[in-house]
Amino acid sequence: MDTTMTAKEISEEWLRYVTETFLLRDGCVRPEVEAEYRRLESTDSFTMDRELWRSYTDTLIQKILDASPESRQQLYSDTDHRSLAYVQDRVQCGTELLIALVQKDLQVNTGGIASLEDFFRQILLQKPED
């Protein structure tokens, strides 16, 4: 049986998910990370740099997602500000995608999605699961 959710419902779950996983006080919203993200965003080479950092960012996101909530704090403190700024950028890209879907008032067939977490992982890694 096919199940559908509104884009608004999915985006609400996304916000909860990324807040609990990435947007922690010691994670991607630390002032130093925020400042680095704004600096990167203001450069002319940001789009190209994003591509250069893609593989590293994918690996870091995978590590964060695979880590237990308890071990994420150490992972975040061991990771440099620039790397976390690229993770924050990926979260922002996913958020913008979902905002666009909400603005179009779309319904999403979730029947083929194993779980919303898997769907969110695909958004964050910007590719379908292998």
Residue numbers of the domain that contains 120: 4-125
- How many residues in the chain? 130
**Is pLDDT at 57 greater than 50 in this prediction?**
yes
pLDDT value, residue 1:
37
Per-residue pLDDT tens digits for 14-52: 999 999 999 888 888 899 999 999 999 999 999 999 999
**Is pLDDT at 108 greater than 90 in this prediction?**
no
The residues, any chain, with a CB within 8 Å of residue 45's CB and separated by 6 or more, are: none
Q: Is the pTM of this model over 0.85?
A: yes
Residue 121 lies in a domain: yes
Residue 102 lies in a domain: yes
Residue 108 lies in a domain: yes
Number of domains in the chain: 1
Question: Tokens standing for 109?
Answer: 């067939």
Residue 72 lies in a domain: yes
